[in-house]
Amino acid sequence: MTIDRESETPDTLGGVGELAALKRIFPRLPSAAAELIGPGDDSAVLATPDKRVVITTDMMIHGPDFRMAWSSPYDLGWKAAATNLSDVAAMGAVPTGLVVAIAAPNDTPVSSLEAIADGLREGCESLAPGSGVIGGDLSVSTVLTIVITAFGDLEGRAPVLRSGARVGDVIAVSGTLGLAAEGLRLLFTEGVVDGEPDAAAAATLATQHPDAIAAQLRPAPPIADGKAAALGGATSMLDLSDGLAIDARRIATASGVGLDLSSEAVGGRVQLDGGEDHSLLATFPEGATLPAGFRAIGRVVEGEGLLVDGVAYTERGGWDPYAGWDGAAG
């Protein structure tokens, strides 16, 4: 048999190499309005007219963070953008730029990288218009790994921290509660065949529960509401990544107060414990008009930790990557 090197290495990263892959990915990436020097030099240069820049970084790793049978490459690009943009928004900032580091197996089709770029582009354009990718790194690993660092502009405002909640403040949220976790629960229970993640089962699920599956695989957090909250006088804010219970406790601890949630306003357990909504949890001064998008769900009280209807809520809930991952990928 004649060895045909071309057909041995079809259109994969290992087949075409780093430079050829980058040439196909670059044109698909969104450009940033604040980009002064973009990809192609040793570093990028981003405009920061405010003399400060908001910076956050987050990894998405095949196995603990996503399954290939459930998430398309497009979904991965979108979600990586969304989760990082949300951390910028949670400071009251407007997202401006991202750098993207991707390590992928040698046999990854270049088309998968193109689809990740498409998801990044449409995620940025849809959730944070004007933001874009200003640089990155492409490398090889046996585990598909996407690492985004995102940047934002405070436009002269003070950053909204976790530590500013005051007794009497209204607790409010913009975005879904528990919907992304409901999507994940559905995928793990009904998106499997013989216990293994299954693409066809997930596709069926997505037609039956489009909102929950989309909230998990292609979230659309309320990025613009971060700036709106800051302009509306928010005293504290964060992005709900690990669930309302855990994240509300973070504001309580940082601010030295208690957060008392209304069970009627919140809903049930999945709304309290479910992670990955990337909704914005904020506190506003008593009597303030809540910005459009925010709804009141409780009150800041004296004391510490989380309460529900005035009673301490101490259940753990939430996600720790080391305790929470059983090692499966798929």
Annotated binding site for substrate: 65, 276, 319
Cα-Cα-Cα-Cα torsion 77, 83, 85, 90, nearest 10 degrees, comes to 180
Among 114, 169, 225, 239, interactor with a second copy by CB under 8 A: 239
Residues between 128 and 167 with contacts to a second copy, criterion CB under 8 A: 134-143, 145, 147, 149-152, 154, 159, 161-162
Segment near a second copy (CB under 8 A); pick from 47-55, 214-222, 227-235, 293-301: 47-55
- From the list 140, 173, 133, 156, the residue with the least C-alpha distance to 261 is 173
Of residues 186 through 225, those in contact with a second copy by CB under 8 A are none
Considering beta carbons, is residue 72 or 241 the nearer one to a second copy?
A: 241
Distance, CA of 329 to CA of 80 (rounded, Å): 18
Q: Which of 25, 30, 72, 87 binds a second copy (CB under 8 A)?
A: 87
Distance CA 160, CA 91 (A): 5
DSSP 171-219: EEEES-SSHHHHHHHHHHHHSEETTEE-HHHHHHHHHHSHHHHHHHHS-
CA 244 to chain centre: 15
Shortest spacing between CB 144 and a second copy, in angstroms = 10
Residue 93 touches a second copy, criterion: CB under 8 A? yes
C-beta of 253: minimal distance to a second copy in Å? Answer: 10
* Binding status of residue 82 toward a second copy by CB under 8 A: no
Q: Is 1 in the site for a second copy (CB under 8 A)?
A: no
Binding residues: 42, 56-58, 65, 87, 136-137, 162, 239, 241-242, 276, 319
Asked if residue 330 lies in contact with residue 197, where contact means CB atoms within 8 angstroms, the answer is yes
Q: x/- binding map, residues 14-43, to a second copy, per CB under 8 A?
A: x-xxxx-x--------------xx--xxxx
What secondary structure letter does DSSP report for 157?
A: P
Q: Is 325 in the site for a second copy (CB under 8 A)?
A: yes
Tokens of 1: 């048999």
Applying CB under 8 A, which of residues 53, 68, 199, 265 lies at the interface with a second copy? 53
Burial profile 209-228: b = 16 or more Cβ within 10 angstroms, e = fewer: beebbbbbbbbebbbbbbbb
